[in-house]
Amino acid sequence: MGAKQLGFSDYELTTAKKQTKREKFLAEMEEVVPWAALIALIEPHYPKASKKGGRPPYPLATMLRIHLLQQWYSLSDPAMEEALIEVPTMRRFAGIALISDRIPDETTILTFRHLLEKHDLGEQIFETVKAHLSERGMTMRQGTIVDATLIAAPSSTKNKEGKRDPEMHQTKKGNQWYFGMKIHAGVDKDSGLIHSVVVTAANVHDITPAAELLHGDEQVVYADAGYQGIAKRPEMAGKTTEFRVAMRPGKRRALPDTPDGRLQDLIETAKAHIRSKVEHPFRVIKQQFGFQKTRLRGLAKNRCKIQVLAALSNLFQARRQLLATA
């Protein structure tokens, strides 16, 4: 018997009088995720029931919901299977009745993720969510903040290959070395929503993929001191965009205590206040959704995951506006 196509809000919550944080979060996500658009996007690639009989595939809506649960709670494939067995709230959200329905095992959950990776559906999910937000008046056009954040990767060689992930590299930040990759993001300066995302190894300089983070219509771009010289790069030739890049910390500390020096310091403070919005989606991805260390090997797999996380981060940040217009 297939999983029932019921929304999370169609079920009664627990018998407890107080709604849990998980129940509240999932009830909100039930309302703000554009389910129909995402299912239509994936459906052409999803396996159909065989005319020769045999066990039918799980309903696409159930597998999509399970995949999003994995991203929101940073669960591995085996941990996701266990959560569906042990956590009634997650099971209800996925539309699974424990007694009558089969619960997808870790291999089925893995196969669905591979389907998304194979057909580059992570990027398409990200674009679909952007279009969904744009249709509801949340456009991202006036100005862009560019920045990058590090995501650690396992440095241990105690694995099947006996070596570290060859696509991950190390970089030094401050006095500390990090091994892993970088998420580079272009964020709207007003809404704080991600409109562009690029994934690279950790040793790629922040400025290298910066041009890919611009949608082309922004009038101004904000960036930290690591992006000094961005306006002079060949890929920026011909652009009329104004680049407001932070002053290097040492130069700022050396500003004279004069009216002009104090004015320059105030300008730097104002630029830093605007740039701080780029930290919001990074905080959601790394703290709210728990993605601080990757368990997947290779940049392609992680790129798909991060594109889905960027889409979910945008929905989470915009949830109040979306719920108000629902």
pLDDT in tens, 43-62: 999 998 776 666 788 999 99
**pLDDT recorded at residue 16:** 52
Q: How confident is the model at residue 12 (pLDDT cuts 50, 70, 90)?
A: very low
Where is average pLDDT lowest: 20-34, 153-167, 253-267?
A: 153-167
> Is the predicted pLDDT of residue 4 greater than 90, yes or no?
no
Mean per-residue pLDDT over the chain, rounded? 90
Q: Is 174 left (phi over 0), alpha (psi -120 to 50) or beta?
A: left
> Is the predicted pLDDT of residue 74 greater than 90, yes or no?
yes
> Is the predicted pLDDT of residue 150 greater than 80, yes or no?
yes
CB 48 within 8 A of CB 60: no
**pLDDT recorded at residue 268:** 92
> Is the predicted pLDDT of residue 7 greater than 60, yes or no?
no
Quick one: which of 113, 36, 125, 116 has its CA closest to 81? Answer: 113
Q: Which residue has the higher pLDDT, 164 or 124?
A: 124
pLDDT digit string, tens, across residues 214-273:
988 889 999 999 999 998 999 888 788 899 999 998 999 999 999 999 999 999 999 999
CB 179 within 8 A of CB 155: yes
Percent of the chain's residues with pLDDT above 90:
75
b/e for 139-168, b at 16 or more Cβ within 10 A?
A: bbeebbbbbbbbbebbeeeeeeeeebbeeb
DSSP state of 286: I
Q: How confident is the model at residue 174 (pLDDT cuts 50, 70, 90)?
A: confident
Mean pLDDT of 184-189: 95
CB 69 within 8 A of CB 90: yes
pLDDT digit string, tens, across residues 265-319:
999 999 999 999 999 999 999 999 999 999 899 999 999 999 999 999 999 999 9
Q: Which residue has the higher pLDDT, 139 or 290?
A: 290
Mean pLDDT of 156-167: 75
Q: Where are the alpha helices (DSSP H) in 45-87?
A: 60-73, 77-86
**pLDDT recorded at residue 13:** 46
Q: How confident is the model at residue 185 (pLDDT cuts 50, 70, 90)?
A: very high
CA–CA distance from 276 to each of 191, 192, 263, 273, 307 (Å)?
12, 9, 20, 5, 21
